[in-house]
Amino acid sequence: MAVASFSAPSAVALESRLTDSYGRVIHDLRVSITDRCNYKCVYCRTGELGAQYPELAIHEYLRLVGLFVSLGITKVRLTGGEPLLRHGLVDLVQKLAAMRTIVGAPLDLALTPNGHLLDSLAAPLKAAGLNRVTVSMDAVDSSVFEQITRIPNSFHAVLGGIRAARDAGLTPLKINCVLLRGFNDDQIEAFAWFARDENVVVRFIEFMPLEEGRLWSPEIVVPLREIVDRINRVLPLRELPPREPSETARRYTFEDGIGEIGIIAPVSQAFCGACSRVRLTSDGKIRTCLFSQMEHDLYGRMQAGAGDEELRSYIVRTVREKEARHHIGEPGFLKPSRSMVHIGG
Ligand code: SAM
């Protein structure tokens, strides 16, 4: 199939490059390409594996992503569900790699898998043009890991996937770990060693109220300060400066400068003021915030026959309405109707 082609963005579209009403420039698109997942992580899923929402055809994602790119998106992250389950992924990556930003540069192309199937897919994905992967891994102890994923032998599969990704050059390789008090917070120090031993960037993420069930409470969140203090006691840390204003992680290296860890603290130190993201769900809805109460049916408009210019102006108008911030932990906070696995993390 040929790379999707688009009519050139008009001067109007260029002028209305994706900016919200708070002046934030949106250049980062997360696309869920399936909401199916082969893991049932206890903090994310109720235990069902099935999909809740439809998937689009690969050429439909390409058309929609192309519209966003023509409006100034420079970074595309493919996610899910589990994106490695999606048939046609390598083809999709290859065609995204052929797209150019509005200044003629290749896209920054990333993928967030759980790593279970990465061992055999890392090299083909790299060859197709993928730049980086961020693999989720919530414990470095295999039995703790498998209690979380609820899938036998998952730890060794993911470790093999991580090593294959590193060998394929999908670097810098990031490992995301969601910490939950009483589940895996005993893994913090071991993860610091893991970052150094495996030459990966380990990023701890504070748990957000986006699970299918009802597990979240302020007490279960392990906050940034506690993580830093605990690692400091065994391996003293030095904070690194941010590389860009919209960087979500606070970055640290160790005293000898070898290895890196990051902490993403959307709960205890929200970074909404610097948000540069917009999301497209597997069924083609725009979400302007993880915690949006509203979705915007871009695919529905496309199916109804809207042309590129009409769809672009719909995207511009939608992004302008992006929420100022989330309200986690505040009175009256409302969980969104979709959970993380069905939005695309
Ligand atoms: N299956 C892929 C994976 O495991 O990375 C992609 C989808 S998953 C929903 C994306 C990321 O969101 C994972 O790192 C996962 O741990 C994280 N995540 C899921 N639920 C979360 C929550 N309630 N709070 C914070 N992160 C969460």
Give the residue, out of 340, 341, 343, with the most ligand 1 atoms within 8 A of its beta carbon, to mutate for a pocket test.
Answer: 340
Cα(165) to ligand 1 centroid in Å equals: 19
Cα(148) to ligand 1 centroid in Å equals: 12
- In whole angstroms, what is the distance from residue 294 CA to residue 254 CA? 42
Q: Looking up tokens 């966003």, which residue turns up?
A: 68
Q: Determine the pLDDT at residue 2.
A: 38
Handedness of CA 137, 138, 142, 148 (dihedral sign): negative
Give the residue, out of 176, 177, 180, with the most ligand 1 atoms within 8 A of its beta carbon, to mutate for a pocket test.
Answer: 176
Q: Determine the pLDDT at residue 50.
A: 74
Whose CA is closest to atom 17 on ligand 1? Answer: 345
Cα(250) to ligand 1 centroid in Å equals: 18
Q: Determine the pLDDT at residue 1.
A: 36
Residue pair 39/82 in contact by the 8 Å Cβ criterion: yes
- In whole angstroms, what is the distance from residue 18 CA to residue 73 CA? 8
- In whole angstroms, what is the distance from residue 257 CA to residue 17 CA? 39
Q: What does the block give as tokens for 294?
A: 């509203």
Whose CA is closest to atom 15 on ligand 1? Answer: 136
Select from 61, 1, 52, 2 the least CA-distant residue to 29. 61
Residue pair 84/31 in contact by the 8 Å Cβ criterion: no
Give the residue, out of 37, 46, 112, 264, with the most ligand 1 atoms within 8 A of its beta carbon, to mutate for a pocket test.
Answer: 112
Cα(339) to ligand 1 centroid in Å equals: 10
Ligand 1 pocket list (CB less than 6 A)? 37, 44, 79-80, 82, 112-114, 136, 176, 178, 205, 207-208, 210-211, 340-341, 345
Q: Determine the pLDDT at residue 11.
A: 56
Q: Determine the pLDDT at residue 177.
A: 97
Q: What does the block give as tokens for 291?
A: 């915690």
User: pLDDT digit string (tens) for 270-284?
Assistant: 889 999 999 999 999
User: Ligand 1 atom closest to Cα of 37?
Assistant: 1
Q: What does the block give as tokens for 53?
A: 């929402």
Give the residue, out of 114, 138, 202, with the most ligand 1 atoms within 8 A of its beta carbon, to mutate for a pocket test.
Answer: 114
Can you list the alpha helix ranges (DSSP code H) found in 140-266?
Answer: 142-149, 154-168, 188-198, 224-234
One-letter-per-residue 3-state SS of 248-315? CEEEEEECCCCCEEEEECCCCCCCHHHCCEEEECCCCEEECCCCCCCCEEHHHHHHCCCCHHHHHHHH
Number of H helices, E strands in the chain: 11, 12
Cα(43) to ligand 1 centroid in Å equals: 9
Whose CA is closest to atom 4 on ligand 1? Answer: 114
User: Ligand 1 atom closest to Cα of 209?
Assistant: 23
Give the residue, out of 205, 263, 271, with the most ligand 1 atoms within 8 A of its beta carbon, to mutate for a pocket test.
Answer: 205
Our CA angle for 297, 295, 115, nearest 5°, is: 95
Cα(345) to ligand 1 centroid in Å equals: 5
Which residues of the chain have a pLDDT value below 70? 1-16, 49
Residue pair 82/36 in contact by the 8 Å Cβ criterion: yes
